[in-house]
């Protein structure tokens, strides 16, 4: 096992970092926070031209045909650049399950359009319980001729307001164990009966409530086997958790580097504050924690990429990265002092995102329970 970046991955990393520093300044981040759509179509098209929307899509469908580890490298740089937009929803939560479970026809229809930047997807999974366990799926679908009729409400659906399709998890068999009887459907987001309501969040990350009222979906839009959707979701949750860890690590790296730079230039009592022991200890602590977070993430990503058992590795990484990102951004605010608490300073963008991202695809308590389960407890 070699977790060092290849020359191609180093080039991807540098290209992405340069791109986001030039094309996505913090002023644009703030503009997108206020924008109802929450993304720049111009940036979206440029990322498509760079091949990033088709990064993990096979070449036969117009993609670059790269691996999961390459996606992790790109997600790190997106987190570092504080990117806003539907990349995570479309590529991680959309393209990956279609690749894993889509029919030949669905792959041919959706994947090239994703790679070109012509299609935005969103995953409608969680409901009022906000759990990622199969027991949390209560929305149902009933067959009626050649269609399924979906009823129920999904919550915390990222980018549903701009999506073309919603990958929707519903219960198609009621009297069964929680993990059985769950199916996935590709639902056109503008279907009659769908109501999308924006939700306000600490990170302004464009989450929505999606209500389905007698929404008719063709039976051919079933993604994967009928009643067999949970294994697809379960695998996707591992991939999404690690991709989110990578994104968080990128933000953590930015917070550490910005704090080191500030500690060198901010002078108090005749010396840069970085010359004082407490600040040095803060920074050394942040550096150590963020370094371990990245190592745990890379190892977990490698197990996912290799198709190895990865439940414990993913959960350990997510728990550690959750707390590390929150801790490092909290320390960064303290190092910056009063200016760090203002909305005008960039550190606030990362501070808010750290607290939101820690809840997605497994908060720390949930992740620890998964580790305990893998230990046989």
231-374 folds as Butyryl-CoA Dehydrogenase, subunit A; domain 3 (1.20.140)
Model pLDDT, residue 367: 96
Model pLDDT, residue 18: 97
DSSP three-state, residue 376: coil
Q: What whole-number percentage of the chain has pLDDT above 90?
A: 92
Which tokens is 238 given? 């591992």
pTM: 0.96
- The mean per-residue pLDDT over the stretch 28-55 comes to 96
123-228 folds as Butyryl-CoA Dehydrogenase, subunit A; domain 2 (2.40.110)
Measured in whole angstroms, the distance separating CA 121 from the mean position of its chain's CA atoms is 13
Q: Is residue 212 over pLDDT 80?
A: yes
Task: Please say whether the beta carbons of 345 and 254 come within 8 A.
Answer: no
Q: What whole-number percentage of the chain has pLDDT above 70?
A: 100
Q: Is residue 228 over pLDDT 90?
A: yes
Model pLDDT, residue 343: 81
Match domain 7-119 to its CATH number in 1.10.10.410, 1.10.10.10, 3.60.15.10, 1.10.540.10. Answer: 1.10.540.10
Task: Sketch the domain layout of the chain as residue ranges.
Answer: 7-119, 123-228, 231-374
- The mean per-residue pLDDT over the stretch 161-178 comes to 94
- The mean per-residue pLDDT over the stretch 277-292 comes to 96
Cα distances (Å, whole numbers) of residue 234 to 11, 110, 152, 209: 32, 22, 21, 22
Q: Is residue 61 over pLDDT 90?
A: yes
Question: What's the CA gap between 251 and 349, in Å, rounded?
Answer: 10
Secondary structure (DSSP) of 5-21 = PPHHHHHHHHHHHHHHH
pLDDT digits (tens, 9 = 90+) for 88-139: 999 999 999 999 999 999 999 999 999 999 999 999 999 999 999 999 999 9
Instruction: Please enumerate in sequence order all residues whose Cβ is within 8 A of that of 363, keeping only pairs 6 or more positions apart, or say none.
Output: 322
Q: Is residue 1 over pLDDT 90?
A: no
Pairing relationship of beta strands 194-199 and 271-272 according to DSSP bridges: unpaired
Q: Is residue 67 over pLDDT 90?
A: yes
Q: Is residue 278 over pLDDT 80?
A: yes
Q: Is residue 12 over pLDDT 90?
A: yes
Model pLDDT, residue 226: 97
Model pLDDT, residue 344: 83
pLDDT band, residue 342 (cuts 50/70/90) = confident
Using a 10 angstrom Cβ sphere, with 0-12 exposed, 13-18 middle and 19 or more buried, the burial of residue 132 is buried
Question: What's the CA gap between 43 and 35, in Å, rounded?
Answer: 14
More confident residue, 100 or 340: 100
- The mean per-residue pLDDT over the stretch 345-352 comes to 94
Model pLDDT, residue 341: 85
- The mean per-residue pLDDT over the stretch 35-47 comes to 96
- The mean per-residue pLDDT over the stretch 57-82 comes to 97
Give me the chain's average pLDDT, please: 95
- The mean per-residue pLDDT over the stretch 58-64 comes to 97
């Amino acid at each position: 096992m070699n977790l060092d970046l290849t020359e191609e991955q180093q080039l991807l990393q540098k290209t992405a970092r340069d791109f986001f520093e030039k094309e996505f300044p913090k002023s644009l981040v703030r503009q997108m926070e206020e924008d109802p759509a929450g993304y720049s179509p111009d940036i979206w098209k440029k990322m498509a031209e760079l091949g990033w929307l088709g990064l993990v899509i096979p070449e036969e469908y117009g993609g670059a045909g790269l691996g999961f580890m390459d996606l992790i490298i790109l997600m790190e740089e997106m987190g570092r650049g504080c990117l806003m937009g539907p990349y995570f929803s479309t590529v991680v939560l959309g393209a990956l399950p279609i690749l894993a479970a889509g029919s030949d026809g669905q792959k041919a229809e959706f994947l090239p359009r994703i790679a070109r930047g012509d299609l935005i997807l969103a995953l409608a999974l969680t409901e009022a319980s906000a759990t990622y366990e199969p027991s949390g799926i209560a929305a149902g679908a009933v067959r009626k001729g050649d269609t399924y009729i979906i009823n129920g409400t999904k919550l915390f659906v990222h980018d549903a307001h701009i999506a073309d399709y919603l990958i929707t998890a519903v219960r198609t068999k009621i009297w069964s164990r929680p993990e059985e009887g769950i199916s996935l459907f590709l639902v056109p987001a503008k279907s009659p009966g769908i109501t999308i309501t924006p939700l306000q969040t600490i990170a302004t990350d464009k989450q929505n409530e999606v209500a389905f009222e007698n929404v008719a979906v063709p039976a051919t839009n079933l993604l994967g086997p009928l009643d067999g959707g949970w294994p697809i979701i379960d695998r996707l949750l591992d991939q999404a958790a690690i991709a989110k860890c990578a994104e968080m690590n990128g933000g953590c790296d930015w917070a550490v580097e910005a704090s080191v730079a500030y500690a060198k230039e901010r002078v108090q009592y005749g010396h840069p504050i970085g010359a004082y022991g407490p600040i040095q200890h803060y920074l050394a602590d942040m550096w150590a924690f963020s370094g371990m977070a990245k190592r745990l993430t890379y190892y977990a990503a490698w197990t996912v990429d290799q198709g190895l058992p990865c439940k414990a590795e993913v959960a350990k990484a997510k728990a550690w990265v959750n707390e590390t990102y929150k801790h490092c951004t909290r320390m960064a605010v303290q190092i910056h002092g009063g200016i760090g608490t203002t909305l005008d300073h960039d550190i606030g963008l990362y501070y808010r995102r750290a607290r939101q991202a820690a809840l997605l695809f497994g908060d720390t308590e949930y992740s620890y329970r998964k580790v305990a389960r893998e230990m046989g407890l």
